[in-house]
Each structure stands twice: as C-alpha cells, then as structure tokens.
Structure 1
Amino acid sequence: METSTDQTHPLYRTDRDQVDSLLGHQGNPGPLQLTVAARLLMRYGDFPGAHDIKQDIQKLLADWGLDSQSLNARCREIWASGWKPGQQLDGDLGSGADVADQES
C-alpha cells in the first residue's frame, strides 16, 4: 500500500530486525518484548510509510491478545516496577544469587 508520499524511516533497518525478532519469539511476551513493541508502535503509528512494520506489530498484538491501550497499560506497569532493559525480573538469576548461596 505504498504511495508516492511514503517515507523511509531512518531507523527502518534496525526496527525491522527488532520486529522480526518479536515475530520469532516463542511463548508469552516478557517485559522486553512488550516495551519494544510499544516503542515501535509509537514510532510508526502516524509515520507515513513502513506499512510492513505497522502490519506486523498489529499481528503481534493480536497474537498476544492485546490492543494498543492494553499494551500501553502493561508497559506502564513494567516501567513502574523499576524494570530496565537488560534487567532480569527474577531475583534468583545471575551471578549475585550464586555468590549469596556460597556465602550462607
């Protein structure tokens, strides 16, 4: 559905890779998948172009049983919890738990 007024977003290639990664994700989406999808939805929502990315994000939301409002609500909960990208939510993971086990 490209028109002569469609634009190419400067982050299209990077974002396309992220959408492809989201499409390949197995299981329920975690904080990283949800926040990436929300960010891309915001970036491309009114953007004149990148129709493939917009369609794939809508497909993801449908597969996850979410709409844009429920996605944003979930992301607000994630950010309010103090989560940051790259951070594990489960406190029993990582080298910190291993050190604590050895010290006890």
Structure 2
Amino acid sequence: MSEPTQSHPLHTIDRDHVDRLLARETPRDGDLTDLARLLIRYDGFPGAEDLQRDLDRLLTLWSLTRDDLNSRVRSLWASGFRPGQAVDDAVGSGFDTTENDAG
C-alpha cells in the first residue's frame, strides 16, 4: 500500500518560484540559492510531485548535480552573498543633505 500524498502549505508560492526558475536559461546567484532551498524543503516530502519533478529538471537544465549546486551555494554564502542584495549596494540612507547644508 502506498503512502498518501500531502499538500504542502507553500506549494502555490513555491510553484511560482519554480516556474520563474524554469524560465531562466542561465541561473543567477539568487536562482541557485532558491533552487537549493526548495530542494531541501521538498526532500522526502510525501507529495508535491510536480514541484519535485521540476526541481530535478532544473538541475538537468542547468547541468548541475546536487553536490555541484550545494558547493556553489556554500561558496556564495561564504563570499557574503545575501538574497535580494545587489552586488554594488552602497552603505547609507541615500538621503542627500546638500540642499540643507546652506545654513
């Protein structure tokens, strides 16, 4: 007898992420970290077969093994990468005080 499949509470949101990743020919750093976290989230999950199938497909499309992906993502994190942070993000508020300096 097979185990019943479960519905994951983040399936709808994750489906959008996976669809976005599938549209990308060459992954960016954030795409790699997204794929890695989604693979971890659904690893061993008894359901969401469509997502699990597409996550495996992404590895093939991007010519990666799980070990390759994990190695690259570990390197990204070690180099200071953080999701949503552009490489050239400047420190500061962006508030321009030049107009107010004419005391």
Q: TM-score, normalised by structure 2?
A: 0.80
Find the partner of 1:30 among 3, 28, 35.
Answer: 28
TM-fit CA distance, 1:24 = 1.1
Deviations 1:28-58 (A, max 9, x none): 2111100000000000011000011011011
TM-fit CA distance, 1:95 = 7.5
Once residues 60 and 82 of structure 2 are traced to their aligned partners in structure 1, the CA distance between those partners, rounded to angstroms, is 25
Looking at secondary structure, tell me which structure has more helix per residue: 1
Counterpart position of 2:71: 73
AA matched with 2:21 = L
Counterpart position of 1:6: 5
Counterpart position of 1:55: 53
1:39 is the counterpart of 2:37? yes
Deviations 1:52-80 (A, max 9, x none): 10110111110111011111111000100
Once residues 85 and 65 of structure 1 are traced to their aligned partners in structure 2, the CA distance between those partners, rounded to angstroms, is 22
Structural RMSD (CA):
1.9
**Superposition misfits of 4+ residues, deviation over 4 angstroms:** none
AA matched with 1:49 = G
Deviations 1:68-94 (A, max 9, x none): 1111111000100101111123x3xx6
AA matched with 2:62 = W
> SS of the residue aligned with 1:8?
coil
Matched residues, percent identical? 45
Counterpart position of 2:98: none
Unaligned runs of 5+ in 1: 100-104
AA matched with 2:48 = A
Unaligned runs of 5+ in 2: 95-103
Counterpart position of 1:102: none
